[in-house]
Amino acid sequence: MEPLSWFEIITRVLWQFIPVWIALIAVFVVSIRYKRRLGLYGKLFDSTIGMIGFALVMFWVFTGIFGAMDLIVTHDALSQVSGMKNEPPGTPLMRAEDGQYPYYLFGGDNLARDVFSRMIKGAWVVVQIAPLATIFAFMVGITLGLPAGFYGGRLDTFLSFLANLILAFPVILLFYLLVTPEIVATGIPNYMAVVLFIFPIVFIAVLLNSRYRTQPRIRTPLLIGVLGILGWLYLSLISESGSKVSVIPDFLDLFNVPGGILVVFVSVVFVNSPTVFRIVRGLALDIKTRDYVAAAQTRGEGAWYIMLWEILPNARGPLIVDLCLRIGYTTILLGTLGFFGLGLPPESPDWGTTINDGRRLLQIYLHPALVPALSLLSMVLGLNLLADGLREETLRD
């Protein structure tokens, strides 16, 4: 068979992405039709920049999800096909079996794996970790930043000192210290997970408690239910049989986070939360002088009620914008980890690892490194544009 021309490659790639296009069009049609009723999300569709950013982000989100369902990928991301080593984009397979996709659309990498499929699978790694890790970092930052800004004093001094301490570390040094197999063997990342992952539970418990404190009839069953489920999730998340932290028996353990991922997750949360803390603290310092906070204090509301139900909702604009930017930054951090070969297994298809693999032969073969590099670029660009669009729209009202 002849190698594909560039035009054929592009057509075939676009064809492979059909499920993504359908999902994207569906989301856009529905969102634009009902945009007046969708609040801030709907307003996003008034700004071109925001829409472009949203489209880029959702493209990768759908690609990741459908890729995980094996819809878009043409080959297995790990299997090697003989004779395909470093072949240029559009090369046909030497002996294609029945039902096997006959081309490597974006060529093969130095281990004769399909670059296109690895790109798609890599998107799933990012889509899985980056948003979740960022949200965790936000929960940690908010739970600590609100009281620091609201109470001030010793607590503020102490927490700010801790935050500055972590921020003064060069990120890469921190990664090298935390994400090596030797440190993993000591169980330090597991203990850090134990500490860091408790913050979301504390956050939600305080959030609900401060709201329904005056109505014990609703509060007690609600808290028991929510905390029960969250506690179970928490225990399943942190406990891993065979590691240092193994608190609950296996039959109660809902899921096991695959090796390396937990460490990566923890270190990314750890690096991000001090910055979130500083932002939240600054916002709390500013907002606590407002009249509605004084009004709530006069009404006799508790301190946590004021923090979580008066200050936090009024700080949402800058926080949502920062969330988008920070997901982008987390994506960059994940790439950095992969680039230095830390944490994720070496055969992992995530973009940082593939860039690192591909860069060694960059002088001769471009595609194995260039494809994941451009993917990462477009995803982070999308998040930044989205943040920009959101910022414009939140400033407007």
CB atoms within 10 A of CB 231: 13
Under rule CB under 8 A, residue 380 binds other proteins: yes
Contact 326, 272 (CB under 8 A): yes
In 3D space, the residue among 210, 290, 194 whose CA is nearest the CA of residue 245 turns out to be 194
How many residues form the binding site for other proteins (CB under 8 A)? 48
If the CB atoms of residues 145 and 189 are measured against other proteins, the closer one turns out to be 189
Under rule CB under 8 A, residue 359 binds other proteins: yes
Q: How far apart are CA 76 and CA 305, in angstroms?
A: 51
Interacting positions 108-137 with other proteins (CB under 8 A): none
If the CB atoms of residues 146 and 342 are measured against other proteins, the closer one turns out to be 342
If the CB atoms of residues 164 and 215 are measured against other proteins, the closer one turns out to be 164
- Write each residue from 137 to 166 as x if it is in contact with other proteins (CB under 8 A), else as -, in one continuous string: ------------------------x--xx-
Return left, alpha or beta for 336; rule: phi > 0 is left, psi -120 to 50 is alpha, else beta: alpha
CB of 8 to other proteins, least distance (A): 20
If the CB atoms of residues 182 and 397 are measured against other proteins, the closer one turns out to be 182
If the CB atoms of residues 67 and 335 are measured against other proteins, the closer one turns out to be 335
Q: How far is CA 371 from the centre of its chain?
A: 21
CB atoms within 10 A of CB 217: 8
Q: How far apart are CA 337 and CA 234, in angstroms?
A: 25
CB of 343 to other proteins, least distance (A): 13
Q: Which of 28, 101, 191, 339 binds other proteins (CB under 8 A)?
A: 339
Structure tokens that stand for 40 in this block: 């801030």
Greatest Cα pair distance, the chain, in angstroms, is 80
- Write each residue from 164 to 193 as x if it is in contact with other proteins (CB under 8 A), else as -, in one continuous string: xx-xxxxxxx--xxx-xxxx-xx-x-----
98 φ/ψ angles, rounded to the nearest 5 degrees: -65, 135
The separation between the first and the last C-alpha atoms of the chain, rounded to the nearest angstrom, is 60
- Write each residue from 294 to 333 as x if it is in contact with other proteins (CB under 8 A), else as -, in one continuous string: ----------------------------------x---x-
Give Cβ neighbours of residue 379 (< 8 Å, ≥ 6 apart): 56, 57, 60, 123, 126, 328, 331
- Write each residue from 187 to 226 as x if it is in contact with other proteins (CB under 8 A), else as -, in one continuous string: -x--------------------------------------
Q: How far apart are CA 138 and CA 15, in angstroms?
A: 38
Burial class (CB in 10 A: 0-12, 13-18, 19+), 250: exposed
Under rule CB under 8 A, residue 373 binds other proteins: yes
**Binding window for other proteins (CB under 8 A); candidates: 5-13, 129-137, 238-246, 357-365:** 357-365
Question: Where on the chain is the footprint of other proteins (CB under 8 A)?
Answer: 161, 164-165, 167-173, 176-178, 180-183, 185-186, 188, 328, 332, 335-336, 339-340, 352, 355-356, 358-359, 362-366, 369-370, 373-374, 376-377, 380-381, 383-385, 388
